[in-house]
Every structure is written in C-alpha cells, then in structure tokens.
Amino acid sequence: MEKMMKEYIEEAEQALLHTYNRYQVVLDKGEGVYLYDIEGKKYLDFCAGIAVFALGYANKKYNDALKAQIDKVIHTSNYYYNVPAIEAAKKLKKVSGMDRVFFTNSGAEAVEGAIKAARKYAYLKDGRTDHEIIAMEHSFHGRTMGALSVTGNPKYREAFEPMIGNIRFARLNDFDSVLSQVTERTCAVILETVQGEGGIFPAKERFLQQVKELCEEKDILLILDEIQCGMGRTGFMYAWQKYGIKPDIMATAKALGCGVPVGAFLMTEEVAARSLTSGDHGTTYGGNPLAAAAINIVLDLFEENHIIDNVKETGVYLEEKLDSLVSRFDFIRERRGLGLMQGLVFDRPVGDIITAALERGLILINAGADIIRFVPPLIITKEHVDEMMAILTDCMAI
C-alpha cells in the first residue's frame, strides 16, 4: 500500500499545477471529526478543510439531502427560479439579519460581488468612477483580481500588478489609521471580522463601532468578510453579531455549504435598492439547486444539533487548554481568537510541529509561518480537544 500512496503523489505532481505545497498524504474518506488516508491511517481533523466541514464527515442527513437533490435536478441556470435557492435565501436572511442574497460559487466571488455592489452604489450617487475602498493590512479576501486587490499582504499581490486600483490600506483595530485614509472618494471599508490567514486577529468591539459610525456619517458602505469566521465558528452565526453592529454588505462561504462549493454576498435593502440591478452581475453556477440544497440542510442541522451552543461550550474549553500551553512553553507567545477559531503564536516557525502532528495522526494548519491555527469541525467535544492536546504537547516536547 505504501507504493500506492507514493504513486498517487507522483501522478499528482506530474498532472497538477504546482501552486500548493501539499503534505505527503492522500486522504480517502472521513467519519465524524476523523479523516482516513488510502492506507487506512486515522487522523483527528482540526482543520476541517480550512474551516469548511463544520458538521463533520459522513453526516447521514447532509449526505441524504444532497443525494435526493441529485436525483431531482442539479443545475438549471439563473434564467429560472428553483425552490432550493428560494428556501436557502430565506433561511440565510433569517440567521444573518440581512435583506438580500446573491449566491456565488466561492468566497472570493462573494468578495468580488461585494466590491462591485459598493462601487455601483457610489456611482449612482455622483456618477464618478474614481471611488476608493479602504481595506486592512494583513487581510486575506481571496485570489481573484478584485479580492486580491483588497488583500493586505503585498507578497500575494506584487506579481500580478496592476490591481483594480483605488485601494487604500489601514490597520485593523487602529481607528486613526482608518480615518487617515478617508477621502471624499471613499465608498467602502472592507475588513474581516476576525482576520484568518493574517494571523487570527479578532476586530475589537470599539474599533468596529467607530468604523460603523464613520460609515454612517459619511454614507460609506461597511463590508464585512465572514467567509472564514462566519457560520457559527466564533460562537455566533456571524461574528459581527457579537458586537452589536451590522454591515451594509457581508460575504460568506466555506461552512455555508459544508463541502459543496458555495458562497454568497448579502446586503441591506437600502444598498440593494441603490446598487446592482439587472445585467450588472451574474454567475452560471451560483445558487444552483444542488448548492442551495447544501445550504438548506446545513442551516437546518445547525439549528437541530445546537451547533452554536456547542461552539460556545467547547470553544471555552479549547481556549483554556491552549492558554495552558502558553503558560507551560516559553516559546509560545500568546493565544488569540474566538470560539473554535483559535491561533497559537510561537517565537519560531511552526512547520515542523504541524508535520510531526500529522505523523501522529493530527491535522493542523498554520496562519503565517509562526502561528498554528485551530479551526476544527464545529461538532468537536471536549474529549476531542483532549486528544488533540495530548498529540500537540507530545510534538512540542520533542
């Protein structure tokens, strides 16, 4: 069987574009919070496909719902209505408190749509096409050209310049830096409520309130990217709900479909009435019956299984355990995060620890060279946290 694993990897290296440095494992199947490779080795998954598989693997109700939709119709295009998309939009409006929904195929596409909506909103006000967007340093919004343009890490952007232009960068949790970037042309501020790839940095409540007040005062749109931190991961369906503020536009994806590629951007009725209209935006696959069926069953199971309650309880336990590591090991600087979106910050690169954990049957990922990120399925229990802790501690004691 060892030869089979090696052969698959060699075939992949010959066929796939070399844009990922993959771990030398070929995953085959999953059950609950565990994954198995093609040799049958079992892994405790604290990555969840990068915060995607919130409900865990082989959930029968989820699988059955998708199978039933496959047997009916998978795709029809947006020239026609379909019932799953209508139901999914209603449910998503209910849990988010937003008013209008546009379904996409990914988080990056949701950000692209949000940017277009903001610029169209500003264009309809004054007819100008030179409006600016303020984004945050160290942010990550996606790899497409628009999303990349508002991603606050130069290393991702520089080889692909020029970007879409008229983007200014401020610092998360530094309101004065945001204020210094505002001009009469500013049409939107975009930020992640909790920065993910940039190092697990939650926005502070006062900062978000100040940005919201600024946006209301100057008729600037607030766009919140909840692609990674949304869908219950922080102990709230959307992280901004913790702070008592509401965005004008919001992007969501990842756990929205729990594995089926789907995202969405949502907006208030006011923005919807004064921005995108017929012919302004579209997508062939977005909101097709299969993707919408995934959203429907995901939101149903979140409610049925009290997922957010579990995140609040297990998230506190995870925080306590990670804090104990900060106290125990001098080379760990701090823990930060919310709920089941946590990061341990080290004083050194963490690649060797993540590799050692993988060899011992624990899947972890980083968020920058010196941060281990913990974004497990939202169904984990305290026992799974203990199991993770035992392996991780063993790896760090080497």
What does CATH list as the number for 61-304?
A: 3.40.640.10
Under 8 Å CB-to-CB from 4, ≥6 apart: which residues? 38, 39
- Under the banding of pLDDT at 50, 70 and 90, the label for residue 201 is very high
Mean pLDDT (the chain) is 96
* DSSP, res 384: H
- Measured distance CA(43)–CA(381) in Å, rounded: 16
User: 221-260, pLDDT tens digit by residue?
Assistant: 999 999 999 999 999 999 999 998 999 999 999 999 999 9
Distances (CA, A) of 327 to 233, 272, 281: 25, 49, 51
- Give the pLDDT confidence of 62-95 residue by residue, as tens digits: 999 999 999 999 999 999 999 999 999 999 999 9
Q: What is the pLDDT of residue 397?
A: 78
Structure confidence at residue 378 (pLDDT): 98
In Å, how far are 113, 133, 146, 186, 190 from 117, measured between CA atoms?
6, 12, 12, 14, 12
Q: Domain 2-55+306-396 sits in which CATH superfamily?
A: Aspartate Aminotransferase, domain 1 (3.90.1150.10)
pLDDT tens digits, 121-171: 999 999 999 999 999 999 999 999 999 999 999 999 999 999 999 999 999
Q: Where are the domains of the chain?
A: 2-55+306-396, 61-304
pLDDT for position 47 = 98
Task: Kindly state the average pLDDT of the residues 200-207.
Answer: 97
For 330, the token pair is 């001098």
How much is the pLDDT for 274?
97
pLDDT at res. 2: 57
